[in-house]
Amino acid sequence: MIVYAIDLWARRNLRPPTAGQWDRAGEDHPSRQTVQRVFGSWNAAIAAAGYVPRRPGRPFGRRLLTAHHV
């Protein structure tokens, strides 16, 4: 059921949820604490659902920009 809930979120939002988004999304899915207890970590649950987890501590939607000037 947890993997299904994560997949459903990702299909609706075009990306897997962050733990913070999951917390704010309401009560129609297992809590983040339950997800982490079952899978050991939030990222392990995201991976089990077939998605690539973000690295811990990376802000959502921001990318590190590097200049490649020769």
Which residue range(s) make up the domain with 39? 2-48
Q: In this structure, is residue 32 part of a structural domain?
A: yes
Given this model, what pLDDT does residue 57 score? Answer: 67
Other residues' Cβ atoms within 10 Å of the Cβ of residue 49: 21
Higher-confidence residue of 23 and 55: namely 23
Cα torsion 20, 21, 26, 29: sign:
negative
Q: In this structure, is residue 14 part of a structural domain?
A: yes
Number of folded domains in the chain?
1
CA dihedral in degrees (63, 51, 25, 4; nearest 10)?
Answer: 170
Q: In this structure, is residue 62 part of a structural domain?
A: no
User: pLDDT tens digits for 25-64?
Assistant: 888 899 999 999 999 999 999 999 999 998 766 555 444 4
